[in-house]
A and B are shown apart, each in its own frame.
Chain A
Amino acid sequence: MVDPESGLSLTIARIVQRLQGSSLHSQLERQARVSLHKPEIKLESLKEDIKDFLKTSGWEKKLQNAVYSELNVFPSPCHPAAPPEHMKEPLAYMRKAQRPISEQKELLNKWNEMGTDEPDLSLFRPVYAPKDFLEVLMNLRNPNYENGEQPSFRNHLGLIQVPLKVKDIPELKEDFSELGLNIGQLGIDDSAQVPPEFFENEHVRVGQKVLAEQDSAAAQQYVRQGCPTALRADLWALILNISNQPEDILYYEQLKSNVIQHDLLVDSLIYKDVKLTASNDDYYFVFEDYLYQVLLCFSRDTSVLEHFTYSSATPPKSYIRGKLGIEECAVFYPPNGVIPFHGFSMYVAPLCFLYHEPSRLYQIFREMYVRFFFRLHSISSHPSGIVSLCLLFETLLQTHLPQLFYHLREIGAQPLRISFKWMVRAFSGYLATDQLLLLWDRILGYNSLEILAVLAAAVFAFRAVNLMEVTSLAAAEAVLADLSTLKVMPLLQIFLFATVT
């Protein structure tokens, strides 16, 4: 157990190390130097005066936001003696469950066989679809866990059989207290029947103030009640600490030229995914070209490799021909270490409604990925990881809608089989876009993906009456096939705060 004192100093040391040498650091230095010319900076009180200057000119705020961003993204340090794998994933059996290297190599071999000139896309089956991934998760077991011989009603009857700790409704109510019945929400209290004076106008005013202050932490708190559409793009950028500096735009242009200069085999997977998903979507087909741009650049962006320090996954390596196994001849493949899977482009698509400058769109997506989305397709014990989300969903359903759960199980329609794809995609492509954005507001606000599991359970609760009448998996799928008319916030609110437990 790490004592709080040394835990804090470890954190500080790590943050200082990460920010040192960053562009923010050099900007601060430059600003400090520039300030020396100002009359209010006196030699006797140099340090204090410069600090005051940085505070009033907004630079302290920028530093604050950067520190806050680091705290959000990186986990707290474990024991100083723990090896780096523990920061990626503390549980040994989870680490072992990662996709085996042999499987990755097999995929790469398959690619190497295909030509690059005119890829016949029909030859590329999607690398994996959510269904395959679910099979892997279902087979996870903790070898140290013994839950007794006789299965009883206390046992978990869902598909996920690992004993991770998940929250119950009282805990969720506390965590998501801002979604309570007596608190104003966008998505509920801005509907046509409610006069805007009651909540909406004031909420917009507060939002504009938060943006003026440029305070990440305040923004994160604010968006828990939803973002006004006109302010959302800027609020998300503030929370994700994306400032769109000239060097960021330059970096993006560099990636773009890489795309033009070199083909990657993974590009074909991206083309296929976009064509199969976003191009057929009523909301997102318009942005097809933007999706190619962003995703092709993304796969070449080696800065994404950084997130593997706290992700349980490991980027696959490719070896120069004939040098298999020789580490000096290894490169990460694709360069960003992320193999796109079926539906991957749907992570980007909703963002196109908010950002029409490609470089800003790109940065927002990249940050969303390394903060949130990567957890949805890697195997880890993190509370926002897909395994925990599945378990949370199943537990909520089994505990609060036991009749429904048993019925669906009886007819061979395990609920997770239906809701899994919603959660893996963070509901993108299933909800109407305005509703999806309200949901993602809360992901950012609470810095957690748990809300996806809660919403999935809430959807089942909402359609419970119809689901009780079905007698097959196909019929259950049909009842839940169309979520495009759902209003997300009332569902969440009722499930968390207005359901008799």
Chain B
Amino acid sequence: MAGKVKWVTDIEKSVLINNFEKRGWIQVAENEDWNFYWMSVQTIRNVFSVETGYRLSDDQIVNHFPNHYELTRKDLMVKNIKRYRKELEKEGSPLAEKDENGKYIYLDFVPVTFMLPADYNLFVEEFRKNPSSTWIMKPCGKAQGKGIFLINKLSQIKKWSRDSKTSSFVSQSSKEAYVISLYINNPLLIGGKKFDLRLYVLVSTYRPLRCYMYKLGFCRFCTVKYTPSTSELDNMFVHLTNVAIQKHGDDYNHIHGGKWTVSNLRLYLESTRGKEVTNKLFDEIHWIIVQSLKAVAPVMNNDKHCFECYGYDIIIDDKLKPWLIEVNASPSLTSSTANDRILKYNLINDTLNIAVPNGEIPDCKWNKSPPKEVLGNYEVLYDEEMAQSDGPDRDMRSRSGQSTGIKGNRARDSGKPVLTTWK
């Protein structure tokens, strides 16, 4: 196939453009013939909408799935996971096993969440069981920590109760909808500060599920020491790890940007907590990512022109249990520090190497099975086809750590049924 890849983007970020240019690709406009379009989520909506949409041809690739919001909107993600769990329960799968308190043993990785105003009454019931608990309110359609606040009294969300009483069938505009989740008020603290994990996951196809995890994720630290004290519930510098918020704090540092590599986290946890619990934690993180993708796989429009690189946000509590907070369809490509820029540049580079093989004009009919050499800093997280054909012996899970590369098979000792889980 002769000719250079023609690219378009509506996201003016240097880490993207530099990567296109270094491959010798040619920039074109949206209305011209293009092969590769790195688009914002608004644009993907237009491309696949009934009114303004158009068919993509075989040599065109885009960086979002049409209905990615099934995973990336906070309310839909929870809805899909709840549905997925119920389905597994119905078919008697061992994955849906519950403990004596009625909690899922293997699938309890999202904090208790309700939609507001729709589930307001259900929420109140739950709230009253633990009136001293803290809850976090998040607008469904926003990002970067905008509009988030914490509550510990029902009076603080009166507004949503009033609305639910008056309008049960009038559909709220999706921008007004909120989710309310049980706040994890016992996060694992390092140096006294709260942090979360940002991990990048590339999905090339949902059916069969094929996903890759970027080895170089990072931790985002708050600049202020953590306290669960009610007097500080309004202090976003204590509670919200989003860089967009923290960078306005007095103590924000532009050299390291409050970020730690995942390998630092691993070294710290291995040294202070031991190797077994650290391995278990990282195994669980990989597990919950794969489960979240499996949960939405049935409802995803598995358009062959699409791939997607998600930004997963995970919080670890002080019992070393990971919680899935949310998934971002457009993880920030802004660089807050020099290291950040290098990381994101390499992220895009490795992503393009997988999504657009050999840097040549794509053919969306290809089998989406890149050879191992092009993975770069990605590791195979889950490959449904391989899992089904190779049998239970193959260890698919990646291990991010100080030394790169997968160190061979490791028996899973958490007691989960190995045979069925990874198929």
- Interfacial residues, chain A to chain B (CB-CB below 8 A): 190-193, 195-196, 228-230, 232-233, 279-283, 285-290, 352-356, 433-434
Which residues B186-232 have CB closer than 8 A to chain A? Answer: 190-193, 221, 225
**Alpha-carbon separation in the docked complex, A196 to B405 (Å):** 14
Q: Which A residues are CB-close (under 8 A) to B405?
A: 192-193
18 other A-B residue contacts (CB within 8 Å) besides A195-B408, A282-B255, A282-B339: A191-B403, A228-B275, A229-B270, A229-B271, A230-B274, A230-B275, A233-B271, A282-B260, A282-B261, A283-B264, A286-B221, A286-B260, A287-B190, A353-B272, A354-B271, A355-B272, A356-B272, A434-B263
Q: Which of B396-415 contact A (CB under 8 A)?
A: 402-408
Complex Cα gap A287–B191 (Å):
5
B215 → A minimal CB distance (Å): 12
Tell me whether A433 and B191 are in contact in the complex, defined as CB-CB below 8 angstroms, given that A192-B407, A230-B270, A233-B272 are known contacts: no
Is B190 touching A286 in the complex (CB atoms < 8 A)?
yes
Contact B268 A353, beta carbon cutoff 8 Å: yes
Measured between beta carbons, the chain A residues less than 8 angstroms from B274 are 230
Q: How far is the CB of A338 from chain B (nearest CB, A)?
A: 24
In the complex the two chains form, is A434's CB within 8 Å of B402's CB? Answer: yes
Contact call A289/B253, Cβ cutoff below 8 A: no
A190 and B256: CB pair below 8 A? Answer: no
Evaluate whether A289 and B272 lie within 8 angstroms (CB atoms) in the complex, with A191-B403, A195-B408, A434-B402 already known.
no
In the complex, whether B387 has a CB less than 8 A from a CB of chain A is no
The reply to whether B191 and A288 contact each other, CB–CB distance below 8 Å, is yes
Does B76 make an interface contact (CB < 8 A)?
Answer: no
- Complex A-B: 12 CB contacts under 8 Å: A191-B403, A192-B405, A192-B407, A195-B408, A280-B255, A280-B256, A282-B260, A285-B253, A286-B190, A353-B272, A354-B271, A356-B272
Contact residues of B between 371 and 423, Cβ < 8 Å to A: 402-408
Cα–Cα distance between A288 and B405 once the two chains are bound (Å): 32
Interface SS of chain A: helix
Report whether A280 and B271 are in contact in the complex, using a CB–CB cutoff of 8 Å.
no
B403 partner, pick from A190, A285, A288, A356, beta carbons under 8 A: A190
How many B residues face the partner with a CB closer than 8 A? 29
* Bound complex: CA A196 to CA B403 (Å): 13
Tell whether B233 is near chain A: CB-to-CB under 8 Å: no
Docked Cα-Cα span, A230 to B273, in Å, equals: 7
Q: Which one, B256, B260, B407, contacts A196 given CB within 8 A?
A: B407
Q: Shortest Cβ distance from A436 into chain B, in angstroms? A: 11
Note all chain B residues with C-beta closer than 8 A to A434: 263, 267, 402
Q: How far is the CB of B241 from chain A (nearest CB, A)?
A: 13
Provide the residues of chain A in CB contact with B272, threshold 8 Å.
233, 353-356
Please measure, in the bound complex, the distance between the C-alpha atom of A280 and the C-alpha atom of B258, giving whole angstroms.
10
Contacts of A192 in B (CB 8 A): 403-407
Min Cβ gap B185→A in Å is 20
A290 CA / B191 CA spacing, docked (Å): 7
- Residue contact A353 to B256, C-beta cutoff 8 Å: no
With contact pairs A190-B403, A192-B405, A289-B191 given, residues A279 and B271 touching in the complex (Cβ less than 8 Å): no
CA distance A289 to B261 in the complex (A): 20
Nearest B residue to A286, CB-CB: B191
Chain B residues in 8 Å Cβ range of A286: 190-191, 193, 221, 260
Q: Are B271 and A353 in touch, CB under 8 angstroms?
A: yes
Q: Which of B258, B261, B271, B408 is in CB contact (< 8 Å) with A232?
A: B271
- What residues of B have a CB within 8 angstroms of the CB of A282 in the complex? 255-256, 260-261, 339
What residues of B have a CB within 8 angstroms of the CB of A229 in the complex? 267, 270-271, 275
Q: Across the interface, do B271 and A285 meet the contact criterion of CB distance under 8 Å?
A: no
B26 vs chain A, min Cβ distance (A):
35
Smallest Cβ-Cβ distance to A233: which chain B residue = B271
Please give me the residue from chain B that is nearest to A434 by CB atom: B402
Contact, CB under 8 Å: A433 / B275: no
Q: Is the CB of A279 within 8 A of B253?
A: yes
**Residues of chain B lying within 8 A (CB to CB) of residue A287:** 190-191
Closest 9 CB pairs of A and B: A192-B405, A286-B191, A230-B275, A229-B270, A192-B403, A287-B191, A282-B256, A230-B274, A280-B255
CA distance A394 to B20 in the complex (A): 49
Q: How far is the CB of A209 from chain B (nearest CB, A)?
A: 16
Q: Are B270 and A281 in contact, CB atoms less than 8 angstroms apart?
A: no
Measured in the bound complex, the distance between the Cα atoms of B400 and A121 in whole Å is: 41
B264–A433 contact, CB under 8 A? yes
Interface membership of chain B positions 105-130, coded 1 if the CB is closer than 8 angstroms to chain A and 0 otherwise: 00000000000000000000000000
| Chain A residues, CB < 8 A from B406 | 192
Docked Cα-Cα span, A353 to B269, in Å, equals 8
In the assembled complex, the Cα of A288 lies from the Cα of B223 at a distance in Å of: 11
CB distance from A283 to the nearest CB of B (A): 6
Whether the pair B192, A289 counts as a contact (CB closer than 8 A) is yes
Complex Cα–Cα for A352 and B268 (A): 8
